[in-house]
Structure 1
Amino acid sequence: MGGEKYPEVQGGGSLILAWQVRHRKVLVIGGGEVAAGRILNLLNADAKVSLISPRDGLNDEVAYRVARKQVEYHDKKFEPSDLDDPAITMVLTAIDEPEASSQIWKLCKEKRIAANIADVPPECDFYFGSVHRDGPLQIMVSTNGNGPKMANIVRRRIAADLPPNMGDAIAKVGALRKKLRVTAPRNEEGPKRMQWMSKVCVKWSLEDLCEMDEGDMEQLLEYYRPDKVPSLEQIRLGEEPDEWLFDGSFGWACVV
């Protein structure tokens, strides 16, 4: 009954989320190349990384992280009691011992700790995709465990088509959005704030957004109350904005 109007359900996917692990403890077991990539991802997300691995199993990058005290290091093999710490919110294993990895997975399930067992998709609560990073911009491509190399190829193709200054533009939009929340802090203004920011993102080019400075932001915010959006040129020339209607039917919404 009218079902053709709605998106068709496609099972077999994952719920892709931006998992906030800032200041949270994550346990990494293993110190090889895969662990190095996992550790870097966690440090980029401001997680508190605890690493368990014998010192002779550390690769050069992981040894560097340990030497710089970027991780809390335990020079030993994993023991079940290592999961007794209630502060652990996530476990990542990257060891070349299938039986030991499966045992860790089972222990995590008993303690209801989210876990990822490297290269064993059935024993993962979540997957690591291929990520493109440009300042505040992060784009993840996931193949749901079917082909990590393909995810990397797709991610590179997407990144190649992005403007080189996309990250800078998004950072400026984020700064403007924070200032707008100070200008219009009330919760009931939320819908208007979102719509006005959408107008800015559609009307201003990436180059304009990158060029925008603090003074431009302050002047632009003066047009929030009358719900107008002048161009960067109009702001700098002191001209009034053209009458321009926005109904949300085109363009992209800015929700950074």
Structure 2
Amino acid sequence: MGGEKFPEVEGGGSLILAWQVKNKKVLVIGGGEVAAGRILNLLNADAKVVLISPRDGLNPEVAHRVEQKQIEYHDKKYEPSDLDDPAITMVMTAIDDPEASSRIWKLCKEKRIAANIADVPPECDFYFGSVHRDGPLQIMVSTNGNGPKMANIVRRRIAETLPSNIGEAIKKVGALRKKLRVLAPGDEQGPKRMKWMSKVCLQWSLEDLCDMTEQDMDDLLRNYGPDLIPTFEQLKLGESPDEWQFDGSFGWSCVI
């Protein structure tokens, strides 16, 4: 078709998504070390965590979450009726009982509840990767179950290449975008908003974005109407558009 080239299909991967579980009920079965990591991930995503596990099986970190009332806790062994709550949107098991885990998996399938059975890839609707977190920035590396340790190694290698203040810069960009949506609401403004924000990220350096204040944001937004982007230095000096002289150079770039 016209000699066009398209990407080759490479099967065997996973569809990596950012799953929004804020204020949604997630059931965790088991309270050991694996459960501790799962629970922390869920709390970081603002989920409502319900834990079922005998108290003598609680990891110290999990026990801390219980004591601080960060999660809803039931001191008991799992029962099939625990899945009857229609508000449960996800189930994660971390117990040392393969047969019980498989029964939970099958019941989740019957009820159409997404589930993750620890250490049993065939019985998982989703996997956990190795995640780097810096404020709003999250980067996940997955090996699709082939080598969790390798995922950690790759994730650390990626993190080492990132600027130490990239999380703060992203926060500032997010705050600027919110202000822009108030200034220029409506779907019809969408394309212009996107292009204007992209130009800001291309022209301003990472350090500029980190140093940007609320006043700088307001001053910068005055240039949205005429679709202009002053440099950080020009904004600070209060120069007018007819005083701007661009040299064609660009600083750090980001993707919105």
TM value normalised by structure 1: 0.95
Q: CA deviation at 1:106?
A: 0.3
Q: CA RMSD in A?
A: 1.7
Question: What is aligned with 1:219?
Answer: 219
The answer as to 2:50 corresponding to 1:66 is no
Question: What is aligned with 1:133?
Answer: 133
Q: CA deviation at 1:240?
A: 3.3
Q: Secondary structure at the match of 2:175?
A: helix
Task: Kindly provide the amino acid, as one letter, of the partner of residue 63 in structure 1.
Answer: A
Q: Distance in 1 between matches of 2:246 and 2:222?
A: 17
Question: Is contact 1:134-1:166 (8 Å) kept?
Answer: yes
Report runs of 4+ in structure 1 exceeding 6 Å deviation.
Answer: 243-246
Q: CA deviation at 1:238?
A: 1.1
Task: Kindly provide the amino acid, as one letter, of the partner of residue 152 in structure 1.
Answer: N
Q: Distance in 1 between matches of 2:200 and 2:206?
A: 11
Task: Kindly provide the amino acid, as one letter, of the partner of residue 228 in structure 1.
Answer: L
Question: Is contact 2:203-2:253 (8 Å) kept?
Answer: no
Question: What is aligned with 1:254?
Answer: 255
Question: What is aligned with 2:26?
Answer: 26
Q: 1:109-120 to 2 correspondence within 5 Å?
A: 109-120=109-120
Aligned residues: 252
Question: Is contact 1:28-1:35 (8 Å) kept?
Answer: yes
Question: Is contact 2:43-2:49 (8 Å) kept?
Answer: yes
Q: 1:46-85 to 2 correspondence within 5 Å?
A: 46-85=46-85
Q: Secondary structure at the match of 2:140?
A: strand
Q: Secondary structure at the match of 1:5?
A: coil
Task: Kindly provide the amino acid, as one letter, of the partner of residue 102 in structure 1.
Answer: S
TM value normalised by structure 2: 0.95
Question: What is aligned with 1:91?
Answer: 91
What is the CA deviation profile of residues 20-75 of structure 1, one whole-angstrom value per residue up to 9, with x for unaligned ones? 00000000000000000000000000000000000000010000000000000000
Q: CA deviation at 1:8?
A: 1.2
Q: CA deviation at 1:217?
A: 0.2
Question: What is aligned with 2:166?
Answer: 166
Q: CA deviation at 1:7?
A: 1.3
Question: Is contact 1:197-1:254 (8 Å) kept?
Answer: no
Q: Distance in 1 between matches of 2:64 and 2:174?
A: 33
Q: CA deviation at 1:155?
A: 0.3
Between the two proteins, what is the percent identity of the paired residues? 79
Q: Secondary structure at the match of 1:49?
A: strand
* Gap change, CA 1:148 and 1:3, over 3 Å in 2: farther
Gaps of 5+ in 1: none
Q: CA deviation at 1:239?
A: 1.4
Question: Is contact 1:136-1:171 (8 Å) kept?
Answer: yes
* Gap change, CA 1:192 and 1:154, over 3 Å in 2: same
Q: 1:11-22 to 2 correspondence within 5 Å?
A: 11-22=11-22
Q: Distance in 1 between matches of 2:63 and 2:176?
A: 40
Question: Is contact 2:205-2:253 (8 Å) kept?
Answer: no
Q: Secondary structure at the match of 1:73?
A: strand
What is the CA deviation profile of residues 218-248 of structure 1, one whole-angstrom value per residue up to 9, with x for unaligned ones? 00000111111101110110113547699xx
